[in-house]
């Protein structure tokens, strides 16, 4: 891996995008490394994944325009497909994902954050989709995930105008969960990850699947899916441990079984 590094501590895996000379800008190689790293992380079975960018200037400042400008339509389609596959590994992974956003999160950077379950932003974070100003459109899921998160009207305004917004406005419209002082996004994300990791891992994974199902189906089918997941958890050792520990007034020791 040239541009992605992974660290593991306890039940938390941290994926850092590190291409600081280019403000962590996305290239086809970097996207492939993200996808490969996520596959390897998931196979190791952590309880939470945190995604961040190296340095304080940028989470990911967008795509590498020099590399992208040389693409043919066929190459651009392939680039988008690679990006979609990598983002699906965040969005559809059974493992909860948290984006720790520092500095620029533009274009593809914002799309990486959108693919995570939770977004924590430093005060210096800047979000936006500059693509239409380049004569293109967001190609790594921005036109699909942003409307689902902030509503179609707000999403269209941001995408059509290419306007950048700061962390405070991003929180106001629901793009980020929380804003923290500059330099503290990663530590805040890791603190939340540790909190999530103490809970039953199967319960958290099933809860993520149920919450994602809400975006893909109607309420009746969503409730049926929730009831099925709820029932399945009663067959696990973790459910017996969790409820037993509550009755015995002790801390549960979950094993993921």
Name the pLDDT band for 103 (thresholds 50, 70, 90): very high
pLDDT in tens, 4-37: 999 999 999 999 999 999 999 999 899 999 999 9
Fold of domain 4-197: 2-enoyl-CoA Hydratase; Chain A, domain 1 (3.90.226)
Q: Catalytic residue, from 44, 81, 111, 241: name it.
A: 111
Please tell me the distance from the alpha carbon of residue 145 to that of residue 151, in angstroms, as a whole number.
10
pTM over 0.75: yes
Q: Catalytic residue, from 32, 40, 56, 131: name it.
A: 131
Please tell me the distance from the alpha carbon of residue 191 to that of residue 195, in angstroms, as a whole number.
6
pLDDT in tens, 44-97: 989 999 999 999 899 999 888 888 888 999 999 999 999 999 999 999 999 999
Active site residue 237: no
The domain spans of the chain are 4-197, 201-247
**Residue among 133, 69, 75 nearest 107 (CA):** 133
Helix (H, G, I), strand (E, B) or coil at 254: coil
Q: Which residues of 110-131 are buried (b: 16+ CB within 10 A; e: fewer)?
A: bbbbbbbbbbbbbebbbbbbbb
pLDDT in tens, 133-155: 999 999 999 999 999 999 999 99
Start-to-end C-alpha separation, the chain = 33
Task: Give me the mean pLDDT over the 115-144 stretch.
Answer: 96
What's the CATH number for 201-247? 1.10.12.10
Active site residue 111: yes
């Amino acid at each position: 891996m040239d541009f992605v590094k992974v660290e593991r501590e306890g039940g938390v895996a941290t994926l850092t995008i590190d291409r600081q000379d280019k403000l962590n800008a996305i290239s086809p190689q970097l996207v492939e490394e993200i996808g490969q790293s996520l596959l390897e992380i998931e196979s190791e079975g952590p309880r939470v994944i945190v995604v961040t960018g190296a340095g304080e200037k940028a989470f990911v400042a967008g795509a590498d325009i020099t590399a992208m400008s040389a693409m043919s339509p066929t190459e651009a389609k392939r680039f988008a497909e690679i990006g979609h596959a990598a983002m699906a590994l965040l969005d559809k992974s059974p493992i909860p994902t948290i984006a720790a956003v520092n500095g620029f999160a533009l274009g593809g950077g914002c799309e990486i954050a959108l693919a995570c379950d939770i977004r924590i932003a430093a005060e210096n974070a800047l979000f936006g989709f500059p693509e239409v100003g380049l004569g293109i459109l967001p190609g790594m899921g921005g036109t699909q995930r942003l409307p689902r998160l902030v509503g179609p009207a707000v999403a269209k305004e941001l995408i059509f105008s290419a306007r950048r917004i700061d962390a405070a406005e991003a929180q106001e419209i629901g793009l980020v969960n929380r804003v923290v002082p500059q330099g503290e996004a990663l530590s805040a994300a890791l603190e939340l990850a540790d909190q999530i990791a103490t809970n039953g891992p199967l319960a958290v994974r099933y809860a993520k699947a149920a919450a994602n199902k809400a975006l893909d189906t109607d309420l009746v089918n969503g409730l049926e899916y929730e009831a099925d997941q709820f029932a399945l958890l009663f067959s696990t050792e973790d459910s017996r441990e969790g409820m037993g520990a509550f009755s015995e007034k002790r801390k549960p020791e979950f094993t993921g079984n």
